């Protein structure tokens, strides 16, 4: 009998310690260190004889025989990618799944991670293995019948032990493996319970080894704790190639998929889905859904032409300005940086003479999404002023500019793309900075170039 081996792990950051201590020296959290039983057993193996794109153990072979090569001699061929048949997912991944990559899909419980992954797995034109430790095969079947009844290349395995999963993989040789979820897996090599730091770490290590040695892409689903971290160790995020985050408000029907980390592509791209009874529908033209179709002209709304990654997005901003009932005025922003809202209110007060100091200001970006693009600033100004003086802004007008501390209307990058999106959606005019350089002499939309916040006030409200 081998002696039981134990180690101490921080449950917050995954740091390992030889003995217990009150505070984690790595992440400075208190009372997060717990003892876990670890015991290494013999190594397992999987068959590497075939894989979807013929990359036979490419990674290990390469690492064994790596030699320096001239940059000019490196082939510039694009790496092969597996098309997931899901445009939004492909976009966020940077063009599809890379063979041998490990992708982690995180999100709060109940947001629709399993629905998304099952839907993708069912639609894949490759032999796919969907491993579920969360639901029974019957439950998955019921859901599958709802989201994509005509699937025929997806296999379901309800199993949580990695050794059994690898035995099945060796037998059926799948092209893609989906694990739902990493927190339910456990390996025989370690004796602590499923979901513990050491189990998550060891199971992920085994999956990485499998993915790299067989060039099979593996997608892991991971739950997120309340404070927004992937439950369990932060190290999980460092171990995998790509970290995708599925977010949105459970009360809203829209879900956003974004990459927090991507070894094979940009992290700027955004995928948008609409949650329906039959599963998640890809939203290929998000601008149309983010703007309300209200025919009436309402004060306090303005539309911004923003960019999320490479993708132009028309977003509606709503503001409500009212006299403060209590002593201290309230300022609140949903989907927009609250500090930036305060800055803009200060600029309006100082540079344009609006007395907003004693007013409550509420700001909302519709659709439940969060925008970082500073080009939204001018629309925020317009919405706040429109609500303040209760005059509606023409619905056929939109905005794309940043506001500076001196009250200047600043140019924003790729303004051309923003103008074209506004034009495409039938807007009649767009306000941008006077200092924007435009590549084209004329557009199918009238372009109003302004230099200062005062000019904007003048233009909008006379």
From candidates 5, 21, 23, 27, binder to Zn ion by CB under 5 A: 27
Separation of alpha carbons 199 and 188, rounded Å: 9
13 vs 48, beta carbon nearer Zn ion = 13
What residues contact 30, with CB distance under 8 A and at least 6 apart? 22, 23, 24
- Restricting to residues 65-124, name those near Zn ion by CB under 5 A: none
Q: How far is the CB of 193 from Zn ion (least distance, A)?
A: 19
Q: How far is the CB of 108 from Zn ion (least distance, A)?
A: 22
d(CA 98, CA 102): 9
Among 273, 287, 300, 241, residue whose Cα is nearest residue 113: 273
Three-state secondary structure call for residue 61: helix
Is residue 236 at the binding interface for Zn ion, with CB under 5 A as the rule?
no
Stretch that binds Zn ion, among 7-15, 232-240, 394-402, 408-416 (CB under 5 A): 7-15
Minimal distance, residue 305 CB to Zn ion, in Å? 43
Q: Smallest distance from the beta carbon of 241 to Zn ion, in angstroms? A: 24
DSSP 1-49: -PPPEEEEEETTT--EESS--SB-TTT--BS-EEEEEE---PPP----S
Region from 8-16, 51-59, 224-232, 454-462 binding Zn ion, contact rule CB under 5 A: 8-16
CB of 24 to Zn ion, least distance (A): 3
Min dist CB 232 to Zn ion, Å, is 12
The nearer residue to Zn ion, 29 or 423, going by C-beta atoms, is 29
Size of the site for Zn ion (CB under 5 A): 7
Shortest spacing between CB 323 and Zn ion, in angstroms: 48
Q: Which two tokens stand for residue 314?
A: 């028309």
Q: Which residue reads 């209590």 in tokens?
A: 326
Which residue in the set 7, 16, 17, 26 belongs to the binding site for Zn ion (CB under 5 A)? Answer: 26
Q: Which of 2, 34, 40 is nearest to 15 (CA)?
A: 34
**Cβ proximity to Zn ion, 16 vs 58, nearer residue:** 16
Return the range that interacts with Zn ion (CB under 5 A); candidates 14-22, 157-165, 319-327, 400-408.
Answer: 14-22
Beta bridge partner(s), residue 246: 257
CB of 191 to Zn ion, least distance (A): 22
CA separation for the pair 383, 88 (Å, rounded): 31
The residue among 432, 433, 436 whose CA lies nearest residue 422 is: 432
Compare residues 27 and 310 and give the one whose CB is closer to Zn ion: 27
- Is the N-terminal amide bond of 181 cis, ω within 30° of 0? yes
Q: Is the dihedral of CA 85, 89, 90, 96 positive or negative?
A: negative
Which lies closer to Zn ion via its Cβ, residue 198 or residue 287?
Answer: 198
Does 429 interact with Zn ion (rule: CB under 5 A)?
Answer: no
Q: Which is nearer to Zn ion, 12 or 306 (CB)?
A: 12
Where b means 16+ CB within 10 Å and e means fewer, 85-108 reads: ebebbbbbbbbbbbbbbbbbbbbb
| 10 touches Zn ion (CB under 5 A) | yes
24 is a contact residue toward Zn ion (CB under 5 A): yes
Q: Where along the sequence are the contacts to Zn ion (CB under 5 A)?
A: 10, 12-13, 15, 24, 26-27
């Amino acid at each position: 009998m081998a002696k039981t081996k134990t180690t101490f792990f921080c449950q917050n950051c995954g740091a390992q310690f030889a003995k217990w201590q009150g505070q984690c020296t790595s992440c400075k959290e208190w009372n997060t260190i717990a003892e876990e039983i670890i015991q290494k057993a013999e190594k397992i193996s999987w068959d590497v004889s075939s894989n979807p794109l013929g990359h036979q153990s490419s990674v290990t072979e390469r690492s064994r025989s790596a030699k320096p090569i001239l940059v000019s001699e490196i082939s510039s061929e694009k790496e092969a990618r597996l098309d997931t048949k899901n445009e939004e997912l492909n976009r966020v991944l940077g063009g599809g799944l890379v063979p041998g990559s490990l992708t982690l899909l995180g999100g709060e419980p109940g947001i629709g991670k399993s629905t998304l992954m099952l839907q993708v797995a069912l639609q894949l034109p490759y032999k796919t293995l969907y491993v579920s430790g969360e639901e029974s095969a019957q439950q998955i079947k019921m859901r599958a019948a709802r989201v994509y009844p005509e699937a025929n290349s997806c296999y379901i395995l309800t199993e949580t032990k990695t050794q059994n999963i690898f035995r099945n993989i060796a037998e059926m040789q799948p092209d893609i493996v989906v694990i739902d979820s990493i927190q339910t897996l456990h390996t025989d090599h370690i004796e602590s319970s499923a979901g513990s730091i050491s189990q998550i770490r060891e199971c992920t290590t085994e999956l990485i080894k499998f993915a790299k040695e067989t060039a099979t892409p593996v997608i892991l689903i991971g739950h997120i704790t309340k404070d927004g971290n992937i439950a369990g160790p932060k190290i999980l995020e460092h171990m995998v190639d790509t970290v995708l985050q599925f977010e949105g408000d459970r009360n809203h029907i829209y879900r956003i998929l974004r990459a927090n980390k991507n070894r094979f592509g940009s992290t700027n791209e955004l995928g948008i889905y609409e949650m329906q009874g039959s599963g998640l529908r890809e939203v290929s033209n998000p601008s149309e859904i983010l703007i309300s179709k209200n025919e009436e002209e309402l004060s306090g709304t303005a539309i911004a032409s923003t960019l999320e990654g490479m993708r132009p997005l028309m977003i509606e901003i709503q503001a409500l300005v009212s006299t403060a009932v209590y002593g201290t005025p309230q300022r609140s922003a949903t989907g927009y940086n609250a500090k930036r809202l305060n800055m803009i209110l200060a600029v309006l007060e100082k540079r344009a003479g609006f007395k907003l100091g004693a007013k409550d200001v509420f700001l909302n970006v519709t659709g439940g999404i969060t925008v970082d693009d500073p080009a939204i600033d001018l629309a925020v100004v317009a919405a706040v002023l429109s609500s303040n003086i209760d005059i509606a802004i023409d619905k056929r007008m939109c905005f794309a500019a940043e506001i500076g501390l001196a009250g200047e209307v600043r140019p924003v990058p790729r303004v051309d793309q923003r103008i074209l999106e506004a034009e495409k959606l039938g807007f009649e005019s767009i306000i941008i900075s006077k200092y924007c350089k435009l590549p084209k002499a004329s557009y199918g939309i009238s372009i109003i170039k302004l230099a200062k916040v005062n000019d904007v006030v003048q233009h909008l409200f006379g």
